[in-house]
Copies of this chain bind each other. A is one copy, B any other.
Amino acid sequence: MSGSQRIAIVGGGVIGLSVAWRLARADQRVVVFDRTRAGGGAGRVAGGMVAPISEYGFEDDAFLELGADSLRQYPEHLLALSADSGIDIGFDGRGALAAAVHRDDVEAMRRVYDFRAHRGLPVEWLSGSEAREFEPLLSPRVTAGMWTADDCHIDTRKLLDALVAACRKRGVDIREDEPVTRVAVNGGRVLGVETAKGTEVTDSVVIAAGCRSADIAGIPESAIPPVRPVKGQILVLRGAPGCEFRHVIRAPEAYVVPKKDGRLLVGATQEEMGFDETPTAGPVMRLIEKAWEVLPSIYECPFESVEVGLRPGSRDHLPIIGPTAVSGLHFATGHFRHGILLSPVTAQAVCEGVTRGRYPASVKAFYPGRFSSAPARHGSEN
């Protein structure tokens, strides 16, 4: 398929809007549906790390490559986004410092370090005192650190506001408070989407509905993406005198991200609680405790709020990007904790896939088809 298509995007979060904006820049006619307000979703409640190396645990290399590719695209992505939106998003690239106090944590960090160093990644092992040279406010009890100079982070609220503005500038039709109730499919080909207001006939449909991507009717049972909500609670503190942290600090069970506007984000829990979005007392206590252990001056920081996001976790915690068995139906979901990082590369891949009918090789490992040998849901497929 070539020329200008009419394309529906289901979901106006960081992935849906990035895809929509990219398609609109490629002269496609795009309509984005969001169940509430566009520019929300899990990406709005996020540390905003753009850090492929630090996000790289023991996954396969395709994941690392995808993240690195996305990071390479970020500067140009943000430049174009600022030009279209008039919003300067900023890009904070001062690096990230992992820090550990207890012996088990140091050993776990060492295994990660060895794995990354073996892959030739630019990570640096530090003694406690070396770590405190990078970040003087680190606790004297920190005994080891790992420095990753390439880690960046951004203000995700500005990113999302800019995406909304840039989409509008490029003529994307954004429909808010209009949930898609069904994907219309006939004879193995997508026909459009249905909402309470009627049917939107389109050439292609991109499902970018985050943790709700599995709950849209009309998708054939065997093609339903296996995503679930993974609850994340994050604290918004405010920097105080004595809390002028220079870098992102990663403690064993919490991270601290100092934003240029003075906010200190302390994240994040990973809880299997279904669609529950309630802040709760225990996780608030734990996040403060874990951050305070490596950064004692956190104790005096003004407490602003608790925010909750529902990340879309896939069955293997890797993103789901690509075509489906239904012609014209595409997925861009399951980004779990990596939606901000992976939004440029996802938008680029989906744009190519939808407009040229051919996805770049880099996303082949993340095709929806990888789950098709097993049923996507429990129960009968009849």
Please pick, from B278, B285, B303, the residue contacting A280 in the complex, using a CB distance under 8 A: B303
Count of chain A residues with Cβ under 8 Å from any Cβ of B? 20
Q: How far in angstroms is the closest Cβ of chain B from A280?
A: 6
A298 within 8 A of B: yes
Given the interface contacts A303-B306, A306-B303, does A284 sit within 8 Å of B280 by beta carbon? no
A299 within 8 A of B: yes
A224 within 8 A of B: no
Closest B residue, CB atoms, query A266: B281
Q: In the bound complex, what is the Cα–Cα distance between A279 and B281 (angstroms)?
A: 15
Are A285 and B282 interface neighbours, CB within 8 A?
no
Closest B residue, CB atoms, query A303: B279
Q: Quick one: copies of this chain in the complex?
A: 2
Q: Which B residues are in CB contact (< 8 Å) with A303?
A: 278-281, 284, 306
Per-residue contact bits, chain A 298-311, to B (CB 8 Å; 1 contact, 0 not): 11111100100000
Are A280 and B292 interface neighbours, CB within 8 A?
no
Are B279 and A299 interface neighbours, CB within 8 A?
no
Closest B residue, CB atoms, query A305: B305
Q: Which B residues are in CB contact (< 8 Å) with A288?
A: 281-282, 284-285
- Sampled A-B contacts (22; CB under 8 Å): A266-B281, A278-B302, A278-B303, A279-B302, A279-B303, A280-B302, A280-B303, A281-B298, A281-B299, A281-B300, A281-B301, A281-B303, A282-B288, A282-B292, A282-B298, A284-B285, A284-B288, A284-B303, A285-B285, A285-B288, A285-B292, A303-B306
